[in-house]
A and B are shown apart, each in its own frame.
Chain A
């Protein structure tokens, strides 16, 4: 059961940085990352995420990496309880691999991700290409991703749906001065298939009820602007804003501000704040007076905002990096009667070994 997204979003591989990954590393260089994170909220949901990832620079100008991730989810959230279902637990396992290459002055990325849990299996591929222009002060990148999802229903041998997602991104990054980098990215995504949840039902005030029904197609557009600027020799600010609209009538705004400061030769502190506001989908209603063509009980389609922030402390040794972080968020649902708000905390740590 996907907690946050009905649709498995296309993972557009981060083409940004591909050049640094390939050009700045010697053949044989690599790293091994391991991270553990705990998500907990006051809606009776916990997720423990364990990640192991590794990459290696090959003799050719190619960096390959692979990762394995396990989400151990336990939930008795209001969505679960209101469907008269007891607490459930499950594991989601994700495996992925990616290759980044520098070829004919182009940065190329090719990746594959597979994810599986008891009622959902997905496979995704992503391609990316980038080129530096104007003495490397300008970079343009394009990416495409495709994910195919097979959706089931726990313990139900009959229920089987599909969801196919295509996504593309075009971005432009520009060095503005010796200490400033700005970027702008446009993302479009089209998904077709089953977008609802087989576990959610909608009841009308007139006594009717039925399974949640969402449109079979969804087109999303987003523009993201980002500005990175060094404020002196030890401090960097990273500000971004994202505007989003889709064919279901959802529009949203996301603003984020992060400040990173060097606390010494080997210690960094990052302070981050984030805010989000979303208008509901056109067909979403807190309660339906009569059955409608499309009906949803998904709070992710309601009107809501969230705000949060966090701290991250990272220590850089010669071959070892250690990081710890804690983030907190408050979610406020403005037209979702079963849950007015939610407080969530994510804390975790990781260690990286470089050679």
Chain B
């Protein structure tokens, strides 16, 4: 079809030939985010609030999360309680980073979708499936603030210790 396509472009002339937009195949401009802060502050929140088999500890979900005792990457069933490996943490980091971009002055999906609509969040099917309460009931939620700080550019030292303060 290449020859036919060239003919089509020729037929349609200058307007068609010059109209293909620039930058269509550029790499993503996803924000640079700190991996250590993710591991110590965000991963514990995602593991405690999101990474359940019926939710995001599932390969069917675009935001798929690995967590101890739940979905694992290349870990046998009898070792599910072992800490997450580097590959699992990196996959979770990349998955979360993919939802970290904001469109204009909107909040990133990683913040807006799990936030209760009454607090300004968007629709989240998890709220329908698992009760009236959404993941973050307000922007004062400890977990919400940890994720928000990471998206705002917070960093942590390489020897940071994962937080346990992740529940509402």
B94 touches A221 (CB 8 A): no
B20 touches A249 (CB 8 A): yes
Q: Give the contacting residue for B5; candidates A82, A156, A206, A251; CB below 8 A.
A: A251
Q: Give the contacting residue for A283; candidates B19, B24, B97, B122; CB below 8 A.
A: B24
B69 in the interface, Cβ–Cβ < 8 Å? no
A221 touches B90 (CB 8 A): no
B20 touches A282 (CB 8 A): yes
In B1-49, the 8 Å CB interface with A consists of: 1, 4-5, 8-9, 11-12, 15-16, 19-21, 23-30
CA distance A156 to B123 in the complex (A): 4
CA distance A153 to B64 in the complex (A): 21
Contact with B along A289-302 (1 / 0, CB 8 A): 01111110000000
B8 touches A217 (CB 8 A): no
A231 in the interface, Cβ–Cβ < 8 Å? no
Query: Which range holds the interface residue count of chain A?
Result: 35 or more
A221 touches B27 (CB 8 A): no
CA distance A188 to B13 in the complex (A): 13
A207 touches B95 (CB 8 A): yes
CB distance from A280 to the nearest CB of B (A): 11
Q: Give the contacting residue for A291; candidates B4, B8, B30, B121; CB below 8 A.
A: B30
A208 touches B94 (CB 8 A): yes
Q: Give the contacting residue for A203; candidates B9, B58, B62, B120; CB below 8 A.
A: B62
A253 touches B4 (CB 8 A): yes
Say what secondary structure dominates the interface of chain B.
loop
B28 touches A292 (CB 8 A): yes
Residues from chain A with Cβ under 8 Å of B21 in the complex: 215, 217, 247-248
Residue of A nearest to B15 (CB): A221
B162 in the interface, Cβ–Cβ < 8 Å? no
A84 in the interface, Cβ–Cβ < 8 Å? yes
B138 in the interface, Cβ–Cβ < 8 Å? no
Query: Which range holds the interface residue count of chain B?
Result: 35 or more
B12 touches A210 (CB 8 A): no
CA distance A210 to B113 in the complex (A): 13
B99 in the interface, Cβ–Cβ < 8 Å? yes
CA distance A253 to B112 in the complex (A): 42
Query: Quick one: given A188-B15, A209-B95, A211-B109, are A248 and B90 in contact (CB under 8 Å)?
Result: no
Contact with A along B121-143 (1 / 0, CB 8 A): 11101000000000000000000
B20 touches A293 (CB 8 A): no
Contact with B along A235-277 (1 / 0, CB 8 A): 0000000011111110101000000000000000000000001
Residues from chain B with Cβ under 8 Å of A327 in the complex: none
Contact with A along B69-112 (1 / 0, CB 8 A): 00000000000000000000011001101110100000001001
Residues from chain A with Cβ under 8 Å of B123 in the complex: 153-159
A192 in the interface, Cβ–Cβ < 8 Å? no
Residues from chain B with Cβ under 8 Å of A84 in the complex: 58, 60-61
Residues from chain A with Cβ under 8 Å of B98 in the complex: 204, 208-210, 291
Q: Give the contacting residue for B8; candidates A153, A157, A243; CB below 8 A.
A: A243
Residues from chain A with Cβ under 8 Å of B125 in the complex: 85
B8 touches A245 (CB 8 A): yes
CA distance A223 to B94 in the complex (A): 44
CB distance from B118 to the nearest CB of A (A): 10
A292 touches B26 (CB 8 A): yes
Residues from chain A with Cβ under 8 Å of B101 in the complex: 210
A282 touches B24 (CB 8 A): yes
Residues from chain A with Cβ under 8 Å of B1 in the complex: 277, 279
A230 in the interface, Cβ–Cβ < 8 Å? no
Query: Quick one: given A158-B120, A159-B122, A251-B5, are A282 and B25 in contact (CB under 8 Å)?
Result: yes
B26 touches A293 (CB 8 A): yes
CA distance A30 to B154 in the complex (A): 70
In A196-210, the 8 Å CB interface with B consists of: 201-204, 206-210
Q: Which residue numbers of A lie inside 8 Å of B, CB to CB?
A: 82-85, 153-159, 188, 201-204, 206-211, 215, 217, 219, 221, 223, 243-249, 251, 253, 277, 279, 281-283, 290-295
**Ordered nearest first, which 6 A-B pairs have the shortest CB separation?**
A210-B98, A201-B62, A156-B123, A207-B91, A291-B28, A208-B94
**Further contacts, 7 of them, CB under 8 A, given A209-B99, A221-B16:** A82-B60, A153-B122, A209-B95, A251-B5, A291-B97, A293-B24, A293-B26
